[in-house]
Each structure stands twice: as structure tokens, then as C-alpha cells.
Structure 1
Amino acid sequence: MVGFDEVVSVFDILMVEDEKELAKLLKIYIERANYTFQLVTSGEEALDFLKNNTVKMLLLDITLPNLDGFVVCREVRRMGSIPILIISARVSKEDQLNGFRLGADDYLEKPVDPDLLVAKINSLFTRVYGVHIEKEILYSGNLMIDKSARKVYKEKTLVELNAKEYELLLIMVENSGKTLDKDFLFYKIWGVDSFSENQTLTVHINMLRNKIEENPKKPLRIKTVWGIGYRYEEL
């Protein structure tokens, strides 16, 4: 039981999935869509979590250890009216009808396409809550970027960035996987009328690497694309 003086956490999405590699992949796509996310691996954990936290949507596997997903679906529906999206390899007509009878809002077949899953999540959020709320939080591995506060956290610890470092990191994260030309980055951050030189970009890239890379001399996030510019990679 949560006391009145305890903090109750609020999450957009709780996923109940015991396939950890699948959950890890889907987490990347879900957090990239700016939803807060929590994973549990059993039905018992899910029910305990829901008793002590606020969740706006449940992503639920059916084949779980001990307590199966249908039982969880029934119990969650008794607890409230949060949207339930079942993701399962069990897709017979009987299983799907059973899921809907127990209160599921939608049913997706495994292996699930991550983009389709995010589209379903967006649709459910819009239908249930009226709008899909665009958040000002970006996640990239162990980095969290709070756009409204212009702050960056690594493993929940504040990373001290100057204004240009922050803007540089933000534009690279928002264009993750794309090679960005040096001139594009320079003019985007410093402007066409800047008296700075392109070498300023190199200096700021190095400073940024020193703050967010595990090994700045062998960067895994900010990659140099020789002769062109830089590319940000998700970890």
C-alpha cells in the first residue's frame, strides 16, 4: 500500500514481456516516440506495479511464466479502464476473441513491426485521452534530453553543457542515423552571419564527446564521416 506521503510514479506505458531482447528493441522505438516506459517480465510483477504506480497504457504478452496474460488482462480491467494492447504469437481466432472479451482494446501478432506498434499506441492514446501529447523529453540510450528545460542527463546525472553543445547534441539526436554535413551543422548552430570558423564545430564536437562518450577517443555515439561531417548513432 502506498502512503499519502510517498511519491507515485507516472508512466505512459507498462510493458509485460519476458522476451528481453524483443522488449529492448521495442523500448527504443517507444521512447523515441517520446513515451515514458517501464518493463516487467511477469504477470505478478505487472499487477504489483499497477497497484503502486499510475500507468496510461498496458502492452501485454499472453505467454508469461506462472500467471498468463489473459488472467492479467482480466485483473487489470477490474482495476480500471486503461487501454490494453495485447502483443502475442497466439493469434488464433479463439485467443483473440478471448482477449477482447477480457477487456483488451487491440491485438497485435508477434513478431511485431515496431513502427506499426508505435502507430497503434498513438492511435489508442488519441482515442482514449483525446490527443497524442507530444512530450519535450528525448531518450537516447542512457541519455535523457529535457527540451523544455534545455538539460541533458546521463544515467540520471546532469551533464553540464554550454548552449552550443546542447543545440549540437539536440540536432544530432533528432537526426539520429543520418550523416550531417559540417557546413549544415555549423550554419544551423552558429548562423550564416557568424564570425566563428568551421574549426569551432570540431572543438564543440570534441567537448561533447568528452561529456557523453564512455571513451571519447573511440566514440560510439558521435561518429566522424570523413570528408563529409558527423553521424549520431543510437546505442
Structure 2
Amino acid sequence: MLKIIHLFNNFTCHYSAMKIAILDLDIAQAKSMCEILTRGRYQCHAFTSLPEFLKQFFIDAYHLLVVSLHNAEDKRRIVQEVRTKIAAPLPILGITGTHDEDQILGMLAAGADDYLLRPLRRGELATRVSVLLRQAYPAQIEGEKHTFGSYAFESRFDRVTISGKPVEMTKKEFELALLFFRSLGQPISRSTIIDSVWKGISPELSRTVDTHISRVRAKLKLNPEHGYRLSPVYGFGYRLDELKGRDAP
């Protein structure tokens, strides 16, 4: 049974109205996840007990809950209780350290929308959260504007500008580019790219992903000459890095 431990210090960053709650007994792990998600322009509050989360939720609602507990039964019970007590369509992401199919299916059957395996990859955590939020709150997400240096992304219009100058892109190219910038400095797996941009449906040809990424690289000038490097990660996926200092040409 999960022990009731009072709420510890919040880790908050006011980049966006989208608010994430993390339920985890491990304060260091919760803090690490919050740091990743605040970088992704969300507010993040960490809790160590379900009662404290529920109390705060009914004062100031959250948009997504991450449940990261090591005990599978606690995790299943908490997900089930959240679904019983909260009528709002709150997306739940479960974090698990096991490949055991019964435990994963039990958590999903209790009401979790998705899951991630430990050890967590920073880019994948941010991306899975982004996908769940986009699915649950399309109207809010579509109205967002994201700025990364001279690059500005307007989700409502699938529009990208560089220093105010528009760049012509298809919808999938736009989604790919935004995915890379929101995970700047972190590798993104090919499966995550497909889940995020192709909605879990694998392109007919494996080269489709590479072709789209090549176009994004060219259109947005993501090369060392312009301070960025979009490169493949062998056997895994891709990674966008911003080159600074001695890394820049």
C-alpha cells in the first residue's frame, strides 16, 4: 500500500498553461522528470501521495498525470482510483520498470493511456507527454506558439518562420520539425517519431521517415553552418543539437 507522505516542494516553470502532475515516492526521480518536462514548456508539480494529488487537483486541475511507482499493484490501484474519482478525461502515463506483459496490461486495463519503461529517455518522456496532451486537448494545443531562438512554430496554421520569414512545409514536415525542437539535445527513437507524426501507423516504406527528415533539415537549414546539427543515431533514431561555442563552425 502506498504510504501517505505530504506534498513536497513543487518544481514549476510557467512556460505554458498545460500542467503536469507526477506521482512518485522517489523525490530525486520526480525532480528529474519535472526538470525534463518544464524544459518542454509545461508546468510540473510533483506529489508523493494520491490524497495530496487529488486534493490539489480539485483546487487547480491538471492536464496530465504521470504515475511512477515501483509496486505494480499500487500503480494499478492508483490509476483505477483516479479514474473513479476524477470525471475529467485526464490522460495518465504509467512508468514501469518491467517488461512483464500482465503487469503492463493490468495498468492499461485500470485506465492508463500509455506507458514508458525505465530507464527513462528524456526525449521520449517529453514526446509521449506531448502526444497524450495533443490527443486529449487538440483545441488548446493547436493554438500554441512555440519559439526556439529565431525559429517560431504556430501549431494552429502548421506554420514555421525563421527570423520572421515563413518557410513552406507540409503538415508532416511541420510536426517532425516541432518534435525535434521540443526534444532539442535528446535522441528520439524511430518508433517515437512514427507514433508522433504518423499516429502509430508505420509508413509504407521505411525510407519515408528519412526522406521527410532530410527535407526538414534542408528547409530549416539545420546544419552546422547555421548552428544546428540534425543527425541519425545509429540503430535508434535521430537527434537535433544546437551547436554553441567550440562546437559551432
Q: What is the TM-score when the length of structure 1 is the normalising length?
A: 0.50
Q: What is the TM-score when the length of structure 2 is the normalising length?
A: 0.47
Greater Cα radius of gyration, structure 1 or 2 = 1
